A and B are shown apart, each in its own frame.
Chain A
Amino acid sequence: MSALLEVNNISKRFGGLQAVDRLSLTVNEGEILGLIGPNGAGKSTVFNLINGVYPPDGGSIVFVGQDITGGPPYRVARQGIARAHQIVQPLGGLSVLDNCTVGACFGRQGLGLVPAREVAREVVDMIGLGDRPDMLAASLTTAGKKRLELARALSARPRLLLLDEVLAGLNPTETEGMIETVHKIRDSGVAILMIEHIMRAVMSLSDRIVVLNLGSKLAEGSPQQVADNPEVITAYLGDSKLLSVAEKPA
């Protein structure tokens, strides 16, 4: 497997807080890399650094051989990295279909309006919003908005998808549906870097996992290796009962 995204030694400081501290990680072609860590470990900051929302204080980010360090976000998106936000950011006054058309128009392929609309329609169907393409994004339910985040990111036909807690706030049925969708996306050849708090989901979905604590890498390896790592248990899982859940992937 060849490396799609290489993050080398990036750091970011906000005032007195070292949010990310010399972090390196690699996402390979076609794999799902889980990024986990306790609250405030700097996971979302890593995403913001990768897609150029803010520039890192040091280090570099290379995507498919191109240096994309420091953004701007729209250039990173054009290179083929799409993102689903933790806090959903629908373009509320636009329809579901138009939201996805934006993704397709300005994403990796940079399609014209008409082909973009077709791509958007396909993705909307695949993600399960096909019954309400003309609904205004603002009037979707929470689960609907989460799906829209994902659909919009996929419409860009990215090579790498950044998923920031797409399962948070969903009920069990919706979670199942979403996990299935993520599998489908990976099978279509898109690599995924995902932040997730629901351990069962991360353990079952990820090929590899990186554990973040206080902005730096604590551990890296297969789900099983990470779950067995004593440092991870004390720093992150803390309670060994949580681990027993992790050991039995669904």
Chain B
Amino acid sequence: MWRRPFLWFIVAAALVYALYPYFTDDVGMRESLLLAAVYIILASNLNLMIGYAGYVNFGNIVFFGLGGYICLYLVTALHWHVIPAALTGGAAVSALALLFGLGILRLRGAFFALATIGVNQAIQQLVVNFEPWGGATGIYLSLDAYGPLGGPMQALWTTYLMIVAVTTASLLASYAIRHSKFGLGLLAIGQNEDAASVLGVPTPRYKAMVYSASAFLPAVAGGLYFFKSGIIEPSSAFNLQTSIEAIVMVMLGGSGTILGPALGAFLYEELRGFLLTAQSFSQFQLVIAGALLLLIVQFVPGGLLGWVHQRWPRTRRWLE
């Protein structure tokens, strides 16, 4: 698999992404890139559901938020190091998703999409009422928590690199799944679930597996991100809006492709950064995102990459 130039391209791009702000020592750039990286993780993993299996998960942010909570809880209450804490968060959320997936994935299409909204909101409300996690006020980190990473300043750089690593892992996972039997089964489900089942694709198991797989890296990223922020609260951890924006990103770049969602996330984040700084637009961020989604869905449902593929079919082979 390492003979494929596409993989080297991903790794090279990730290295540039990781090292550019480091060598220029540009903290502002790092923060903007970090946010984009988090969005790439969310979009890329959401794409496993939307683009591959054809299931819209409106509540995808619940993985990110729960991962963040578990990680911060382990760091503050049990004094774990952030890396095992984030990984544990990822594993726990992934296992939870597997259990949950077996239930709600019995629902098809729109019913599933509705249920995911319900799941996100229910978990947010549960956390609001859950005192060990600080209820509505959430969990705060004290500065001591950054000690193991060499102090707060150094910790910011370290978490940045770790998040870029998770981003790279997300893209590689997207690639690996796309080129596996598992991925082929998912694509079949996405095209026509009944036909896939008659062809022998074990649909319930595959759906639960991809739901669980799409939970792992976002949950790890949630741990790292909220560790870096030093605070997590229910409203920011389970923000339905972010969930929806992740869908916009996937659609913008091209659902079902490997690079598309990452491209969409990056572009969307840059666009938003621009709109936020431009005075007259800052109020209309939501309107613009909505209008963008509307235009994509109606006129270019394949997104940027889908459009390129349609315009120049040969690009399908190397631009995945």
Question: Contact partner of A91 among B180, B188, B197, B204, CB < 8 A?
Answer: B188
Tell me whether B191 is interfacial, beta carbon within 8 Å: yes
- Residues of B with C-beta under 8 A to A112: 181
Chain B residues with CB below 8 A from A116, complex form: 181
B195 at the interface (CB under 8 A from A): yes
* A85 with B200: CB separation less than 8 A: no
Quick check: B201 and A106 within 8 Å, CB to CB? Answer: yes
Q: Which residue of B lies closest to A83 (CB)?
A: B198
Q: Does B184 contact A (CB under 8 A)?
A: yes
| Contacts known (A101-B184, A105-B184); A93 close to B199, Cβ less than 8 A | no
Contacts of B197 in A (CB 8 A): 72-74, 77
Q: How far is the CA of A110 from the CA of B185 in the complex (A)?
A: 12
- Please indicate the chain A residues that have their CB under 8 angstroms from the CB of B185 in the complex: 102, 105-106
Is A156 an interface residue, CB under 8 A from the partner?
yes
Minimum C-beta distance from A88 to chain B (A) = 9
Kindly supply a per-residue 1/0 record for chain B positions 108-126, scoring 1 wherever the CB is within 8 Å of any chain A CB and 0 otherwise.
0000000000000000000
Query: Are the CB atoms of A51 and B198 closer together than 8 Å?
Result: yes
Interface residues of B in 146-199 (CB under 8 A from A): 179-181, 184-185, 187-188, 190-192, 194-199
A53, A92, A106, A113: the one contacting B199 at CB < 8 Å is: A106
On whether A94 and B188 interact (CB within 8 A), knowing A89-B194, A106-B199, the answer reads yes
B202 interface residue (CB < 8 Å to A):
yes
Q: Smallest distance from the beta carbon of B86 to chain A beta carbons, Å?
A: 32
Does A42 make an interface contact (CB < 8 A)?
Answer: no
Which residues of A lie under 8 Å from residue B180 when comparing CB positions?
113
Name the interface size band of chain A.
20 to 34
Question: Do residues B184 and A85 form an inter-chain contact, with CB atoms below 8 A?
Answer: no
A80-101, CB under 8 A of B: which get 1 and which 0?
Answer: 0011010001111110001001
Whether A91 and B192, one on each chain, are in contact in the complex, defined by CB atoms closer than 8 angstroms, is yes
How far, in angstroms, from A110 to B181 measured CA to CA in the complex?
A: 10
CB pair B202 A74 closer than 8 Å: yes
A94 and B191 within 8 A (CB): yes
A82 to B190, CA, bound (A): 20
Q: How far is the CA of A74 from the CA of B256 in the complex (A)?
A: 24
Q: Return the contact of A156 from the options B194, B199, B204, B256 (Cβ within 8 A).
A: B199
Set B181, B191, B200: member contacting A113, Cβ < 8 A: B181
Q: Residue-by-residue, is A38-79 near B (CB-CB < 8 Å gives 1, otherwise 0)? A: 000000000000010100000000000000000011110110
A12 at interface, CB cutoff 8 A:
no
The minimal Cβ–Cβ distance linking A11 to chain B, given in whole angstroms, is 22
- Give A110 to B204 CA distance when docked, in angstroms: 17
State which residues 75-112 of B face A: CB under 8 Å.
none
B243 sits at the interface (CB 8 A): no
Contact partners of B190 in chain A: CB under 8 A: 93
B266 CB, min distance to chain A CBs, angstroms:
25
Q: How far does the alpha carbon of A35 sit from the alpha carbon of B194 in the complex, in Å?
A: 23
Cα(A82)–Cα(B179), bound, Å: 25
Question: Beyond A101-B184, A102-B185, is A107–B200 a contact (Cβ under 8 Å)?
Answer: yes
Q: Is the CB of A53 within 8 A of B198?
A: yes
- Taking a contact as CB atoms under 8 Å apart, the answer to whether A85 and B195 are in contact is yes
Nearest Cβ on chain B to A20's Cβ, whole angstroms: 18
What A residues does B192 contact at CB under 8 A? Answer: 89-92
Q: Tell me the nearest residue of chain A to B195, going by C-beta.
A: A89
| Residue numbers in A under 8 Å from B188 (CB-CB) | 91, 94, 102, 106
Interchain residue pairs with CB less than 8 A apart (12)? A53-B194, A74-B202, A74-B203, A89-B194, A91-B191, A93-B191, A94-B187, A102-B188, A105-B181, A105-B200, A106-B201, A107-B199
Inter-chain pairs besides A72-B197, A94-B188, A107-B199, 16 sampled, C-beta below 8 Å: A53-B194, A73-B198, A74-B198, A74-B199, A77-B197, A77-B199, A89-B194, A89-B198, A93-B187, A93-B191, A102-B184, A102-B196, A102-B201, A105-B181, A106-B201, A113-B179
